[in-house]
Amino acid sequence: MSFFDDLASNFQRAFSTDGGAAAASSSQYYTVGITGASGSLGSALIDELGKQSTLNGKPVRIVKLARSDNVDGAANTLLSDDNDDTTMTTLSWNPKATSPASVIDADALDDIDAIVHLAGENVATGLGPLGFLGIRPWTEQKKAEILDSRVGPTQGLAKAIAASKSKTDFLVASGVGVYGGDFIGDSLEAVDESMDISSTAGFLSDISRQWEAAAKGAGSNRVVNCRMGVVLSKNGGALGKLYPIFFLGGGGNVGSGKQYFSFISARDAARALVHTLSTPSLEGPVNMCAPVPCTNAEFTSAFGMVLSRPTILPLPGFAVSLLFGEMGEEMLLGGVRAIPSKLSQSGFKFQHKNIDEALQSAVEETI
């Protein structure tokens, strides 16, 4: 998006007849609904929001969106400014529902300024040869679970947001896997949001495309496809599983070690989401990854240095292919070399630009 496109978009929002995104609700609070709030990224976001005295000129209220087969029809009372506990509430939503009224309580949604949608089946959890790491090959059932947990619920929330009487920004987690997994060594330059992803190959690319397309159903509301790099936290995700292995000296390169790795510290991921909430010019695909991607070998070396542990036990490529098939080829041997052009151009300042800083943060932070 050019400077003039940004200017026109902001002008239209500020002076639209329905009040625009800035006039989402009349509440004294800026209210953020979060799906996947109990996950590592959701927890980091809640921690970061708690550090904000105000957001978009109002005190922050957090609404944890909890999965339920039934939507609480009286849930709007939870969001009343007269409620004693207004800074943190829980609201039920039904990710399996298809009609807007069955997905989330309409009256409650009218008081939510933004929804950050982080929920989705983990792409690598399960049993298998490395079950203790939470890694297993993709079966057709697992693929269906991954797809169904992303596309259907996102479509449901998008339709509910489109049907709401008030404006609600919709920030939806996606992944840098949408760019494919062909970034090995220096064979391909780093890519940003301007890359054409319509024909990138691989299961993760296809899932991400469908996930992002599902969010478009939010109508005229602002939609941001948050293309996350691997979020680094010792409390969860990939690093949480690798941490004890590396701590015990069992780390090493995977395959050639030349495959690129787009990452972001949990703190910067949470900060980037908060920055996006307060930056209406950010919309569409936004890469949320550190500006200096690294290779698997560089990650391995840096993690060993941070933990003061050796990293001499590699996992050969043939073993990855044999044990994990398609999942191993894409997630362990494939690579993504993405940079956050839109985020940087919008004025966001990373605290952890490179892998050394990000891993140090992951080890020291409580999130």
pTM comes to 0.90
Q: Using pLDDT thresholds of 50, 70 and 90, give the confidence band for residue 142.
A: confident
Q: Does the pLDDT value for residue 138 go beyond 90?
A: no
Considering the domain boundaries, does residue 240 fall inside one? no
- Helix or strand run (H / E) with residue 34: strand 30-35
- Domain count for the chain: 1
Please tell me whether residue 91 adopts helix, strand or coil conformation: strand
* 163: nearest Cα among 110, 120, 91: 110
Considering the domain boundaries, does residue 329 fall inside one? no
Q: Tell me what pLDDT residue 21 has.
A: 39
Q: Does the pLDDT value for residue 148 go beyond 80?
A: yes
Q: Does the pLDDT value for residue 75 go beyond 60?
A: no
Q: What is the CATH number of the domain that holds 78?
A: 3.40.50.720
Pairing of the two strands 30-35 and 60-67? parallel
Please tell me whether residue 177 adopts helix, strand or coil conformation: helix
Q: Using pLDDT thresholds of 50, 70 and 90, give the confidence band for residue 153.
A: very high
Q: Which domain holds residue 284?
A: 3-228+265-289+339-349
Considering the domain boundaries, does residue 249 fall inside one? no
Q: Please give the mean pLDDT across all residues of the chain.
A: 88
- What would the pLDDT profile of 53-73 be if each residue is shown by its tens digit? 999 999 999 999 999 988 865
Q: Using pLDDT thresholds of 50, 70 and 90, give the confidence band for residue 342.
A: very high
Considering the domain boundaries, does residue 139 fall inside one? yes
Lowest mean pLDDT among 77-81, 96-100, 150-154, 271-275: 77-81
Q: Integer distance in angstroms from the first to the last C-alpha of the chain?
A: 33
Stretch 171-181: mean pLDDT: 97
Considering the domain boundaries, does residue 110 fall inside one? yes
Considering the domain boundaries, does residue 244 fall inside one? no
- What would the pLDDT profile of 77-128 be if each residue is shown by its tens digit? 556 666 555 688 999 999 999 899 899 999 899 999 999 999 998 886 654 4
Lowest mean pLDDT among 186-195, 229-238, 304-313: 229-238
- What would the pLDDT profile of 230-261 be if each residue is shown by its tens digit? 999 999 888 988 899 899 999 999 999 999 99
Q: Using pLDDT thresholds of 50, 70 and 90, give the confidence band for residue 27.
A: confident
Q: Does the pLDDT value for residue 133 go beyond 60?
A: no
Contact 306, 356 (CB under 8 A): yes
Considering the domain boundaries, does residue 276 fall inside one? yes
- Percent of the chain past pLDDT 90, that is, above it, reads 73
Residue 265 Cα distances to 102, 142, 218, 291, 335, angstroms: 36, 27, 29, 11, 18
Considering the domain boundaries, does residue 322 fall inside one? no
Residue 82, class by beta-carbon neighbours within 10 Å (0-12 exposed, 13-18 middle, 19+ buried)? exposed
- Helix or strand run (H / E) with residue 40: helix 40-49
Q: Tell me what pLDDT residue 210 has.
A: 96
